[in-house]
Amino acid sequence: MASAPTTVDHVRPPGRTWEFIKRLRRGDEVAHLITLLAAASIIVVTVMLVYQLYTNSTLPRHKFGFSFFLGKTWDPVSGEFGALPFIFGTVVSSALALLVAVPLGVGAAIFLSELAPPRISNVTTFVIELLAAVPSVIYGLLGIFILVPVLRKGVMPFLKTTLGFLPFFQGPIYGVSMLAGGLVLAVMIVPFIISVSREVLMAVPVEQREAALAMGATKWESTWQVVVPFARVGIMASVFLALARALGETMAVTMVIGNDPRISASLFAPGYTIAAVIANEFTEATGDLYLEALIELGLVLFLLTILINGLARLVIIATTQKGAAQG
């Protein structure tokens, strides 16, 4: 918007007004205003979103205070609302998803950036990005009808007989379980880890690789000990972004996790997540306290994802500054 000062100082006040009127007449100021309104409405919507979540959850905040997060009982009938089982389920299913998705995603990203010929790498990345576009409910559909039966009949009995001494693999087998939720989430977040990590790895200067190879390192040693550490902060950012998605993911998890607000060490036991309980109980919430408790859960979920996203953004800003300083 910086326009060159063309007017002489003593005629400036009328000049500026004249300039403004001229531009108003030509439509520039009108266009500026219209686009400004659109941009401002984005801020308005976001502020309204936070405001609505906050004001519509006053009842449970006043009634339970901080103990809302520590309570283990979720009993709408007696009006007792504790969010711990849902927070537990959300954290465990997301952690499980990361446990599977991070090695898989980083491995695939290494292959795509370091080994694969550009053509294959591009086609593969395209397919992986399509994977990211598959709607959540379709993952849920496949989860219910394909993954859960496979887990129930094959994987879980096998884990129980071989690793059954661990507390994670004990208890009755239903199929729908924390394990199923974590696996579906893993599949859903892998594309995000791959596409961001691949970009970060490809941005590592080629001299780094050449130097390592010239020292006699094998391809793998150069990749693992030089290229990956160079890109580690960016890879971490990709993991944070994926985590934020996993926390807020609703449909696929709701369909396979079993929806039972219990805290159990076993991954075979059904669980419940924040997003899932909102999806399941919102329409049948009777009474203001029940509804507002669910909205407060929504607020918790919102703040959690904002926090993780913010961390990811900070990490990205930190890396780009570091990169600028080095390069």
Q: Is-contact 7 16, C-beta < 8 A?
A: yes
**Closest CB 34 distance from other proteins, rounded Å:** 6
Tell me: does residue 158 bind other proteins (CB under 8 A): no
Q: Is-contact 74 89, C-beta < 8 A?
A: no
Euclidean distance between CA atoms 239 and 260, whole angstroms: 28
How big is the site for other proteins, counted in residues (CB under 8 A)?
87
Tell me: does residue 48 bind other proteins (CB under 8 A): yes
Of the candidates 11, 18, 21, 35, which one interacts with other proteins according to CB under 8 A?
Answer: 35
**Closest CB 263 distance from other proteins, rounded Å:** 22
Our CB check for other proteins shows the closer of 144 and 173 to be: 144
**Closest CB 121 distance from other proteins, rounded Å:** 9
Restricted to residues 249-278, the positions that interact with other proteins (CB under 8 A) are: 249-251, 255, 275, 278
Q: Is-contact 243 94, C-beta < 8 A?
A: yes
Our CB check for other proteins shows the closer of 208 and 305 to be: 305
Restricted to residues 181-210, the positions that interact with other proteins (CB under 8 A) are: 187, 190-191, 194
Our CB check for other proteins shows the closer of 239 and 266 to be: 239
Euclidean distance between CA atoms 264 and 98, whole angstroms: 19
Our CB check for other proteins shows the closer of 138 and 265 to be: 138
**Amino acid residing at 134:** V
Phi-psi region of 27 (alpha: psi -120 to 50; beta: other; left: phi over 0): left
Per-residue mark of binding to other proteins, 285-314 (x: CB under 8 A): ---------xx--x--xx--xx--x---x-
Restricted to residues 112-141, the positions that interact with other proteins (CB under 8 A) are: 112, 114-116, 124, 126-131, 133-141
What does the block give as tokens for 38? 């659109």
Tell me: does residue 150 bind other proteins (CB under 8 A): no
Of the candidates 69, 168, 174, 224, which one interacts with other proteins according to CB under 8 A?
Answer: 224
**Closest CB 10 distance from other proteins, rounded Å:** 28
Q: What are phi and psi of 3, to 5 degrees?
A: -100, 145
Per-residue mark of binding to other proteins, 93-112 (x: CB under 8 A): ----------xxxxxx-xxx
